[in-house]
Amino acid sequence: MTAPAWFVRNIAQEPERGTIDVDGCSIETLSWGVRDASGLIFVHGNGAHADWWVPFAPFFSADYRVATLSLSGMGRSRWRERYSMDQQMREIMAVAEHSGVFASGRKPWLVAHSMDGIPATWLAASEQGGRFAGLILLDCAARPRDDPPSIAERHAWSNPGYAALEEGIARFRLRPTQPETIAGCSTSSPPNRLSGERTVAGIGVLTPTICASVTRRSSAKCRTCCHMSAVL
């Protein structure tokens, strides 16, 4: 079995890799494209990291300056003593500034997946939100700022990783089903911050089609008009 041609082609486009200090914590950054192009900044979901976007960012890099980050505690970013949605908002904004998505003078789009659509939505609805052209949510249910998720109410979980690449591949499922299975997954993913073990990269795949977008609202908090967009 072989990886799809688009996957092989895109992961061959090595991003610019770096770090930036945000409130005393080193945050991993990845970027593609030229700085004077219009901007896109991608934000991964819970338990993920910047490299989740590596197969997809090159679809846009010919026309956009594309940037992403590993939020603190995930990927190759460092850990904090405490975490909050407000802290994640600051990290997203700092990386947007650092990576050059504002450099063209045109407002960039903010694109967020899953749970971290929440801080992205809060950022888009904040005073800083006027700097963005809009917000695109992927597989995310937006929540208003006065209804934050309760971490204490969530069931404890961890991702122990896999003993071998073959075990990870055996548990891998593409959604929606695709005719080819990605067999060439890299085992060089960052350590899982919950277990300290390494996991097979690429478990959890998006496709490069955005089905719906959510425009920014200028109100102080997100309203229910922030619809969940269907993904790929």
- What is the residue whose two structure tokens read 């991702």? 159
Q: What is the pLDDT of residues 63-94, one digit of tens each?
A: 999 999 999 999 999 999 999 989 999 999 99
Question: Model-level pTM?
Answer: 0.68
Q: Is residue 166 part of a domain?
A: no
Decide if 42 is inside a domain: yes
Single-letter amino acid code for the residue at 182: I
Least confident of 24-28, 189-193, 194-198: 194-198
Evaluate whether residue 2 is within a structural domain: no
In a domain, 158, yes or no: no
The two structure tokens encoding residue 209 = 């089609």
CATH number where 120 lies: 3.40.50.1820
Is 103 inside any structural domain?
yes
Each residue's pLDDT tens digit, 49-60: 999 999 999 999
Q: How confident is the model at residue 202 (pLDDT cuts 50, 70, 90)?
A: very low
Closest of 98, 117, 101 to residue 109, by C-alpha: 101
Give the model confidence (pLDDT) of 7-21 as tens digits: 999 999 999 999 999
Pure H helices in the chain: 5-11, 85-99, 117-124, 165-170
Distance CA 67, CA 54 (A): 10
The whole-angstrom separation of Cα 118 and Cα 138 is 11
Q: How far is CA 16 from CA 7, 29, 91, 164, 191, in A?
A: 18, 8, 18, 29, 20
Residue located via tokens 């940037």:
67
Domain presence at residue 219:
no
Question: Per the domain annotation, does 160 fall within a domain?
Answer: no
Q: What's residue 190's pLDDT?
A: 38
Phi, psi of 35 (to 5 degrees): -70, -20
Q: Which domain holds residue 66?
A: 7-146
Please give the structure tokens belonging to residue 102. 């504002």
Q: How far apart are CA 184 and CA 209, in angstroms?
A: 23
Q: Which two tokens stand for residue 7?
A: 């996957």
> Mean of the pLDDT values across residues 95-120?
95
Q: What pLDDT was estimated at residue 138? A: 92
Give the span between the Cα atoms of 151 and 67, in whole angstroms: 28
pLDDT given at position 215: 29
In total, how many domains does the chain have?
1
137 neighbors 112 (Cβ within 8 angstroms): yes
Alpha carbon distance 76, 196 (integer Å): 12
What is the rounded CA–CA span in Å between residue 191 and residue 213? 32
Residue 45 maps to a domain: yes
